[in-house]
Amino acid sequence: MSVQAFTIGLAAPQPLKLGGAALFLDLDGTLAPIAARPQDVAADPRRSRLLETLETGLDGRLAVISGRTLADVDRILEGRVPCVAAVHGLVRRGGDGAVQEAAAHPGLAAAAARLKGFAARDPGLIVEEKGLSVALHFRLAPAHAAEARALAHRIAGETGLTVQDGDMVEELRTPGPTKGDSVRAFMGAAPFPGARPIFVGDDSTDEHGFEEARRLGGFGVLVGPPRATHAAFRLPGVEDVIAWLEGAAR
């Protein structure tokens, strides 16, 4: 089924029931407000307590699937979630603590150098190196958005890196697993099998997660303004997500 088959006027999801559910959560724009600079997102005691309660209530069937590095996810969430897919699925840590990581693409160093050269023109342009990918943030320099996007796509075409369009960011990443692949991998390992997957995310990078959750008998929840999506439901913003999750954790 294509994305066009879904209407953009989605209803809010029903109250979440933890029994039989497997919960997959994006981080930025879903669990935490998006910041102008990625390093500005910090730990939050309310969120950390909530995730700890959900982890227990779901018997471990909770995973965070984020574009951030594994270290950054653990920093922001204070290590409350054992199962994490980082760098959009290129790094995955299971409930047993074992980490699987893709090999870095050889074109990353050259791509990072070119993005840094571009970013030198404006202090609002931020280059974030993640080991398996490199991202160019332009939220603080929106006048350069079109040129930044064009440059990222040009580099991807020249190097074979995968370009990932995001919310005021362009990311060049090692080709490999997506967020949807991460959902499938988690659902194939204890304690997830047999549960109904629910994927909550805000960005275009989360669409693979929505699709895979639906394919496996669950659904996606879009966070933010209405748009064409594979999600079945929508919540307006981060606070609404937290409230929805807290309703299930009580």
- Show which residues are catalytic: 26
Tokens representing residue 139 in the block:
């939220």
Half-sphere exposure of 222 (CA within 13 A, CB side): 24
CA distance 248 to 108: 42
d(CA 184, CA 20): 16
- For the chain, the DSSP string reads --GGGS-S-PPPPPPP--TTEEEEE-SBTTTB---SSGGG----HHHHHHHHHHHHHTTT-EEEE-SS-HHHHHHHHTT--SEEEEGGGTEEE-TTS-EEEPPPPTTHHHHHHHHHHHHTT-TT-EEEE-SSEEEEE-TT-GGGHHHHHHHHHHHHHHH-PEEEEETTEEEEE-S---HHHHHHHHHTSTT-TTSEEEEEE-SGGGHHHHHHHHHTT-EEEEESS--S-S-SEEESSHHHHHHHHHHHH-
Q: CA angle, 50 as apex, 73 and 181 as ends, to 5°?
A: 45
